[in-house]
Amino acid sequence: MNEGMTPEQEGARLKELLGTRNKTQFAKDAKVPGGASMLSQHLSGHRPISLSAATAYAIGLGVRVEDFSPRLAKAIADAAQTTTVQTLSPSPSPGVPVVHVPLLANAGSMGPGTDIQHDDILVGQIALSEQWVARRLQPTKLNALRFIHAYGDSMSPTFEDGDILLVDTGIKDPKIIDGVYVMAANDRVYIKRVRQRMDGVVEISSDNATVKTVDVLNGDHRIDILGRVVWCWNGRKL
């Protein structure tokens, strides 16, 4: 298969493998990041398949990633030949105290927003070194940490579509510290940069220079701050 397959070709191959399965049920059973909505976008070719989604598809379909995406299979193979993932990921050494951080199905969108799942759905846990967390992140409390996936490109290059983000849910007030926050508005979840301007206005924006979305927190609309992104699973502290 061609490693240069387009998103449309990858979507068509995924659709062939999916066959007559119910898309909504499959997305739920396979724990597809972003759920049925994201699956539909991948099938249509409107969004490239991320590595995390490809893993869920492969497990759910009982196939190999290369069966529908040679591009991602190559990325996996390349990663296996280096220590990049190990050096960027704060994984604990054997025998050290660890913190088991929940990985939630709730996803933050860096674009038009992802529908809120009103109950936190645990899809796994990631173990982190307790010492690393205390030294590098200094969270409000250890049990306030959560992992979620991010989707979209409006926060590129800070992080990319499909990246896993570590969120401190104990930080609710963006006026305390500027940064990247997960927030909910109009039953959708967003990930945006929040900063307080010199005039006191709190501004919400994207990091992607091609996306000119800028809003302000002025009380006209209800926005719930769900937490601050403190680490991206590409080795970046935010």
Averaged pLDDT, 170-187:
82
Q: Mean pLDDT highest for which of 16-30, 60-74, 107-121, 201-215?
A: 16-30
pLDDT of residue 83 exceeding 70, the answer is no
The letter for the amino acid at 136 is R
Q: Are 167 and 150 in contact (CB under 8 A)?
A: no
pLDDT of residue 112 exceeding 70, the answer is no
Please indicate whether residue 118 or residue 195 has the higher confidence score (pLDDT).
195
pLDDT of residue 62 exceeding 60, the answer is yes
pLDDT at 84: 35
pLDDT at 164: 81
Q: Mean pLDDT highest for which of 20-29, 129-138, 148-157, 197-206?
A: 20-29
pLDDT of residue 106 exceeding 50, the answer is yes
pLDDT of residue 33 exceeding 80, the answer is no
Q: Coil, strand, or helix at residue 147?
A: strand
H-assigned helices in 22-175: 23-29, 35-44, 51-61, 70-80, 84-88, 130-132
Please indicate whether residue 49 or residue 233 has the higher confidence score (pLDDT).
49
pLDDT at 212: 62
pLDDT of residue 2 exceeding 60, the answer is no
Please indicate whether residue 62 or residue 216 has the higher confidence score (pLDDT).
62
Per-chain mean pLDDT for the chain: 76
| Residue-wise DSSP of 153-212 | STTTTTS-TT-EEEEETT---TTTS-EEEEEEETTEEEEEEEEE-TTS-EEEE-S-TT--
pLDDT at 200: 78
Question: CA-CA distance, 160 to 77, in Å (whole number)?
Answer: 20
Question: CA-CA distance, 138 to 134, in Å (whole number)?
Answer: 5
Question: CA-CA distance, 177 to 63, in Å (whole number)?
Answer: 45
